[in-house]
Amino acid sequence: EVQLVESGGGLVQPGGSLRLSCAASRFTFSNYAMSWVRQAPGKGLEWVSVISGSGGNTYFADSVKGRFTISRDNSKNTLYLQMNSLRAEDTAVYYCAKSYSSGSYSAFDYWGQGTLVTVSS
Amino acid sequence: DIQMTQSPSSLSASVGDRVTITCRASQSISRWLAWYQQKPGKAPKLLIYQASNLESWVPSRFSGSGSGTEFTLTISSLQPDDFATYYCQQYNSYPRTFGQGTKVEIK
C-alpha cells in the first residue's frame, strides 16, 4: 500500500525556518501531484500548497504565500516544504497528501501520519 | 476563494441512527467535492470523491450526493466505528478549501 512518511517538524522560534520532508513509496511518485495540508491544534484542516507531478506548477494558500516553498525530488520520491519567516499561527500538524488522479481535479487519497511544527519563543 | 460551510458543526446520535451532514459551497464546484473522516490523533481518510463515489474501504451505509453548491453526506445506520469528525473539501479550484468539520459524537 502507498506509504507517506513526514519528517522535519519540531520547535522553532518566530521568524525561524524549517524544512519538512515527505518520503513516498509504493506508487509512481512522479505521476501524481502532492500537497501539504495542516491542522492547528484542535482546529480544522487547511490546505497549504500543491506541486504538480513534474514539479513545474505550484500553488499556495494566501496565508503562506511568499514564506513557504514547495518542491519535490522525483529521483528520491520525496516532497519538501521549506517554511521561512514562521509565525505562531503556523503551529500545526503538517500532513503530506497524494492526489488520487493525475488530472487537474483530484482529492487526496493517501495521507501521511503528520509532523508537528511548533512556533514559539 | 471558495468558502465551504458545513452544518451542523457537531451532532450527537445513537448507534443505528440515520445521520446527514450538509456542505455548501460559496459558488458552484460542479461535483468536485470530497468527504474525509478523521479520528482523534489520526490523519484524515478519504471517504467519498466526486460527490458520490465511495472509496473501496468505505461501507455501503455511507453515501454522498449533490452538485453545484449543495452536498450531503449520509450515514444510513450509524455504527460505533463512525464516531469521528467529517470534513468536506472542494477541489474545483485553488486554493483548495475545507469545511470547518462536523464532529459526530455518541448520544
Mean pLDDT of B28-38: 98
Contact B49, A100 (CB under 8 A): yes
> In Å, how far is A11's CA from the nearest CA of chain B?
19
Q: How far apart are CA B93 and CA A60, in angstroms?
A: 12
pLDDT, tens digit, 9 for 90 and up, residues A5-18: 999 999 999 999 99
Inter-chain residue contact B87 with A44, CB threshold 8 Å: yes
> In Å, how far is B65's CA from the nearest CA of chain A?
16
Mean pLDDT of A57-73: 97
pLDDT of residue B59: 98
Mean pLDDT of B69-90: 97
Mean pLDDT of B58-76: 98
> In Å, how far is A63's CA from the nearest CA of chain B?
11
CA contacts within 13 A on the Cβ side of A83:
32
Three-class secondary structure of residue A88 per DSSP: helix
Residue B107 has pLDDT above 90, yes or no: no
CA B10 to chain centre: 12
A100: chain B residues, CB-CB within 8 Å: 46, 49
pLDDT of residue B67: 98
Residue B54 has pLDDT above 80, yes or no: yes
pLDDT of residue A105: 84
State whether residue A44 sits within 8 Å of chain B by CB: yes
pLDDT, tens digit, 9 for 90 and up, residues A17-57: 999 999 999 999 999 999 999 999 999 999 999 999 999 99
Inter-chain residue contact B87 with A61, CB threshold 8 Å: no
B94: chain A residues, CB-CB within 8 Å: 50, 59
| CA dist list (Å): A11 to A88, B87, B91 | 11, 28, 32
Report the residue of B96, B100, B102, B103 to disrupt the A interface, i.e. the one with the largest count of A CBs within 10 Å.
Answer: B96
Three-class secondary structure of residue A90 per DSSP: helix
Mean pLDDT of B68-73: 98
Cis peptide before B59 (omega within 30 of 0): no
Q: Which of A46, A105, A111 sits opposite B44 (nearest CB)?
A: A111
pLDDT of residue B75: 98
Q: Which amino acid is it at A86?
A: L
Closest residue, chain A, to B51 (C-alpha): A107
State whether residue A46 sits within 8 Å of chain B by CB: yes
pLDDT band at A66 (very low <50, low <70, confident <90, very high): very high
Closest residue, chain B, to A58 (C-alpha): B94
Residue A102 has pLDDT above 90, yes or no: no
Q: Pairing relation of β-strands B102-106 and B10-13?
A: parallel
State whether residue B34 sits within 8 Å of chain A by CB: yes
Mean pLDDT of chain B: 97
> In Å, how far is B90's CA from the nearest CA of chain A?
8
Sign of the dihedral through C-alpha A60, A85, A36, B43: negative
Closest residue, chain B, to A39 (C-alpha): B43
